[in-house]
Amino acid sequence: MKIESKVKNYLVEMSDHVLEHRDLFWKGHPGRLFYFIDQKFYKFYEPSLKAFIRDDFHFLIEATEENKSYLKLADYYRVLIENRFTRKDILVTFGGGILQDISGFIASTLYRGIPWVFFPTTLLAQADSCIGSKTSINFDDSKNLIGTFYPPDSIYIDVGFTETLTPSAFNSGLGEIIKFHLLSDARRYEVLRKYLSSAKLRDFKNLKQIILSTLEIKKSYFDQDEFDTGRRNLLNYGHCFGHALESVSDFVVSHGEAVIVGMGFANLLSLKRGMIQQKEYTEFEDILQKYYPRFDVSRITADSIIYYLKRDKKRVGNQLTMILARGLGDHVKIDDIREEEVISVYQEFFKNYPRN
């Protein structure tokens, strides 16, 4: 997939067994290679990664939200600068969305822009965050308040990396896959339903097809709105409540799973406002119910959710903001949501929420 960006054009390529083919990726590159690698991923693939990296510099990062805090940025700049990284060298990342955010922000700001190549290792990163150019850094206890637009020069997707994902991490990727297909049309919706009905969701052939479908949907949204000023805002469906849930739970609930909850909450709010019919709500809920994460609901309060909704960067007025559904592929940004609405929907939504 070739993607045209106002920042720089880039390429997304599916490649099997990438760790066995180092020379295919770096042939013709004059610079040195500096690796940022997810710590857990490194442990799973250590022998293969050592053969791939050889004597090049590498730095292991634990994929936690705390590590993509603005306070941690100095550590990442320092490790590259002290090891004599130059503008001709290449930053290479193996990891999921957190490593992507860290690397992308560093790449966009160090020396006012350096080359970087991304090997996404989680389903969420492969099917969603790897394209679209966004980088996001947390500020204090609020998620993704700081960021830039800066895509990798190349993205190489190896679905084999998903084999070592935990069920929760895989489910997190499914959250974004479901979101994009609910934002699409009837044909794509059937692709989703066919995929979810398969007994082998993690089969590589099935994964490749649903990842490609998801990336094509996402590309259609940002082709005309790369910098998130219009239609691309709709991709935040499930994210307003989802980001708040992540923060309130101290990130016990992962991003993609929080988005699943956020979509369910937004759909119920849409139903209460008369924006969707009961039949549509039930159909969407039947999909989401299977993937709702289990967590300690008693730790989450409506007031704590509202606190973070007020700090959402998409909010533009005095009221609260969410992306709500009017039907399949028909969503709208609503900026007049009252706190009383959130409390009422919150009470009903979590009254029947699946327990541990």
CA–CA dist 67, 269 (Å, integer)? 34
Decide: 107 and 91 in contact? Cβ < 8 Å: yes
- Tens of pLDDT, residues 103-162: 999 999 999 999 999 999 999 999 999 999 999 999 988 888 999 999 999 999 999 999
The reply to whether 76 and 149 lie within a common domain is yes
Q: What is the CATH number of the domain that holds 187?
A: 1.20.1090.10
Q: Would 286 be classed as within a structural domain?
A: yes
The reply to whether 63 and 35 lie within a common domain is yes
Q: Would 247 be classed as within a structural domain?
A: yes
**pLDDT number for residue 355:** 58
- Tokens 């560093």 belong to 106
**Which of the listed residues 164, 193, 217 is the one where a domain comes to its end?**
164
The reply to whether 26 and 158 lie within a common domain is yes
Q: Would 203 be classed as within a structural domain?
A: yes
Strand order in the sheet with 57-61: 2-3, 10-14, 154-157, 116-120, 90-95, 33-38, 57-61
How many distinct structural domains can be found in the chain? 2
**pLDDT number for residue 15:** 93
- Tens of pLDDT, residues 282-314: 999 999 999 999 999 988 999 999 999 998 877
* Tokens read off for 298: 């008693």
The reply to whether 318 and 182 lie within a common domain is yes
> Is the pLDDT at 356 greater than 70, yes or no?
no
137: nearest Cα among 91, 71, 76, 227? 71
Q: Would 195 be classed as within a structural domain?
A: yes
3-state secondary structure of 166: coil
104 contact partners, CB below 8 Å, separation of at least 6 = 116, 134, 135, 148, 150, 151, 152
Decide: 264 and 320 in contact? Cβ < 8 Å: no
**Which of the listed residues 100, 132, 164 is the one where a domain comes to its end?**
164
Q: Would 156 be classed as within a structural domain?
A: yes
The boundaries of the domain holding residue 87 are: 2-164
**pLDDT number for residue 317:** 79
DSSP string, 123-139: HHIIIIITSS-EEEEEE
CA–CA dist 162, 164 (Å, integer)? 5
DSSP string, 286-351: HHHHTTPPP--GGG--HHHHHHHHTT-TT--SSSEEEEEEEETTEEEEEEEE-HHHHHHHHHHHHH
Q: Would 228 be classed as within a structural domain?
A: yes
- Please give the mean pLDDT across all residues of the chain: 94
Q: What is the CATH number of the domain that holds 46?
A: 3.40.50.1970
Supply the DSSP symbol for 29: -
Average pLDDT over residues 271-282: 97
Counting DSSP H helices and E strands in the chain, the numbers are 14, 11
The reply to whether 11 and 136 lie within a common domain is yes
* Tokens read off for 340: 């009383």
The reply to whether 233 and 128 lie within a common domain is no
Cα end-to-end span (Å), the chain? 41
CA–CA dist 296, 343 (Å, integer)? 18
Kindly provide the b/e burial profile for residues 219-245, where b requires at least 16 CB atoms within 10 angstroms of the residue's own CB.
bebbeeebebeeebbbbbbbbbbbbbb
The reply to whether 71 and 192 lie within a common domain is no
The reply to whether 66 and 198 lie within a common domain is no
The reply to whether 283 and 310 lie within a common domain is yes
Q: Would 107 be classed as within a structural domain?
A: yes
The reply to whether 207 and 112 lie within a common domain is no
**Which of the listed residues 164, 185, 201 is the one where a domain comes to its end?**
164
**pLDDT number for residue 314:** 76
- pTM score of the predicted model: 0.92
CA–CA dist 328, 320 (Å, integer)? 23
The reply to whether 151 and 36 lie within a common domain is yes
Q: Would 356 be classed as within a structural domain?
A: no
The reply to whether 194 and 211 lie within a common domain is yes
